[in-house]
Amino acid sequence: MRSVKLNPEYFFNRELGILAFNRRVLAQAEDERVPLLERLKFLCIFSSNMDEFFEVRVAGLKEQIRFNDTTTGPDGMRPRQVFTSVSAEAHALVDHQYKILNEVVLPRLEQEDIKFLRRTQWNATQAEWIREYFFRELMPILTPIGLDPAHPFPRILNKSLNFAVELEGKDAFGRNSGVAVVQAPRALPRVIRLPADIAGCEYGFIFLSSILHAHVGELFSGMQVKGCYQFRVTRDSDLTVDDEDVKDLRIALQGELSHRQYGEGVRLEVADNCPDEMSAFLLGQFGLLQEDLYKVNGLVNLVRLMQIPDSVDRPDLKFAPYSPSLPRELSKETDLFKAIHKADILLHHPYQSFNPVIEFIKQAAEDPHVLAIKQTFYRTSADSTLMQSLIDAARRGKEVTVVVELMARFDEEANINWAAKLEKAGAHVVYGVVGHKTHAKMAMVVRREDGKLKRYVHLSTGNYHQRTARLYTDFGLMTCHEEICADVNDVFAQLTGLGKATKLKHLWQSPFTLHSKLIKAIYHEAEMAKSGKKARIIAKMNALLDADIIRALYDASSAGVKIDLIVRGVCALRPGIVGVSENITVRSIVGRFLEHSRIFYFYNEGEENVYMASADWMYRNFFRRIEVCFPLLDSKVKKRVIKEGLEPYLKDNLNTWEMQADASYRRRTARRGYEFSAQQQLMAELGQSFATE
């Protein structure tokens, strides 16, 4: 069929799309319906997101500019154009973040007797307690560095807290450089709670930066401190490993990790009281320009305020406690293999517990009838119970194979450590395929039953990470369907061995079939629409960027297919363009939980095919990663996913942002008397306890 002629105006830039998502996160901190301490958390989450954005995306842009790369993406923008737009938007967002903090969140917290005491507010008793704290806890481990020919500007760790100190006078050796640097060790808390009787309130906190500002002169005996200014540099943190030259990926990565903290500078944050001369001096030290400078009205690292909600026992200022439930199939049957043998089991996290996944591997490790366990890991926790069970299984003599993705960004070190522990226990550890990250979420257990081998698998849209399973929405499927299990076994064979890709019966796999199968399914709906039949596509994911997929969706829309996209993060497709995408809607849900599941629905002449996947609709997921997309063959499971994973999100009018044709997002407003939150509804339906957010 005829393809829509693609113009750059039909695509929204990826980097600007990421910032648009972060603006939606920031809006949660302004939302009066969100409890106050949770609003503080959203400010911290925004800061963390922006850190990663600079470490990876802006770092990549700056590298392209440095090498005079003028390549344009589908949106037609060159790297320098993108950077200029990104810089303006990022500065505006950060300014707005601090305005929310200083004018809304902190004053409201103070009204609730949760105070952050500034130096100008300290009374004599508080000042004395803080002075004693400085000499007892801080001064012994601080190392002031005066700058002179023998003491050049120190190496500054990525995202660390530092202070530039202006000095006057000569030291014991007659030196007078005028400038020193004090680095705050990462072991030091950034926020210190005062005793209630000293603070004058139940929860009184002092910033580490305030203590250092007050007593930094103690580090420079006999010299006058003219100024003290906190600063923080963000560095390029993307690791690169030469696929062709690498002989041992783990060793190569271990060598790279030590350099991550000292990559090229990409952003400098300073307090807004920092003089222009000092800012210029610091920019010069990191090879940065004025456009890379962010002056902030407060702490230069708000991420560290994430500890505050956990330190404050005020349930009324937090989301109501929530306890996930167990699926009905597991409420009485504790033997997972018996339960799975009866019927497929669907798990919907965090509304339903992650414990069955943990039990699946734990029972397999302890079951004498289990011969082998195979599992992939992309991200997991440092105290992973799943990993411990695999180690236990290996020690019991079972055949344990674990595919650990060493190139999972910012989790490389943790994954290397787990790989070493698994190998020590006797497990087979492989790192997938060099050049293709293993992003598929699969576990397979081989069990002897009645003299025959029986396979059981778990497939998921999310990571095997028990902590994030309480915060991210994901689906998991447990099945012993023979053909699905055979497909999973073939994918594991690809990851651990050598050979041609086999034809899978049910699974769509990257980098081989997922992209083409999705495009085929989209065009099938288009053909149905052209022939006058009902056609519908609903897709939920984290990101939509692939140009070929977007072209297919535009073609389907032009043919009359009704398309609803639920894209939590960046979306390059623009809905509502006349003659191109007027049949497409794009929604983004931002709420208590982070929407993470990937679900693809195709009406397919009434068959209603539903797939779930580990992959977003991005080029990297289709061609540079090992991903699996699996169909829901059990009709009850399929209905549940439609009912829980898609329909509520199309009705949501509390946490929904609708993308406009100009790529801006507008928050959906509830009709009078009808407010509906998908997340609240699912908590009510699936959880053990529920209270309105």
CA 602/CA 266 separation, integer angstroms: 43
Given 436, 439, 515, 596, the catalytic residue: 439
CA 489/CA 481 separation, integer angstroms: 12
Contact criterion met (CB below 8 Å) for 594 and 42:
no
CA distance from start to end of the chain: 48
Residues found in the chain: 693
> Which DSSP category does 468 fall into?
G
CA 439/CA 442 separation, integer angstroms: 9
H helices present in 500-658, as ranges: 514-530, 547-559, 619-623, 635-641, 647-651
H helices present in 7-100, as ranges: 14-28, 36-52, 59-66, 79-100
Q: Which strand (E) or helix (H) includes residue 373?
A: strand 370-377
CA 65/CA 245 separation, integer angstroms: 27
| 3-state SS track over 394-427 | HHCCCEEEEEECCCCCCCHHHHHHHHHHHHHHCC
Three-state secondary-structure class, residue 108: helix
Closest to 603 (Cα-Cα) out of 524, 684, 497: 524
Contact criterion met (CB below 8 Å) for 377 and 389:
no
Contact criterion met (CB below 8 Å) for 2 and 555:
yes
Residue 629 gets the label, from left (phi > 0), alpha (psi -120 to 50) or beta, of beta
Is the CA virtual torsion 667, 673, 674, 679 positive or negative? positive
CA 256/CA 249 separation, integer angstroms: 11
> Taking the CB of residue 306, how many other CB atoms lie within 10 A of it?
17
Contact criterion met (CB below 8 Å) for 525 and 561:
yes
Phi, psi (rounded to 5 degrees) for 54: -70, -40
Find all residues with CB under 8 Å of 320, minimum gap 6, and list them.
689, 690, 691, 692, 693
Closest to 540 (Cα-Cα) out of 589, 498, 495: 589
Residue with tokens 């195979």: 374
Closest to 54 (Cα-Cα) out of 263, 244, 198, 309: 263
Q: Distances in Å between the alpha carbon of 508 and those of 87, 625, 629, 631?
A: 39, 13, 5, 9
Closest to 641 (Cα-Cα) out of 460, 467, 486, 463: 460
Closest to 174 (Cα-Cα) out of 226, 223, 224: 223
Active site (annotated) includes residue 506: no
Strand pairing category for 399-404 and 428-430: parallel
**Half-sphere exposure in the Cβ direction for 327 (13 Å, CA):** 25
Which residues are designated catalytic? 439
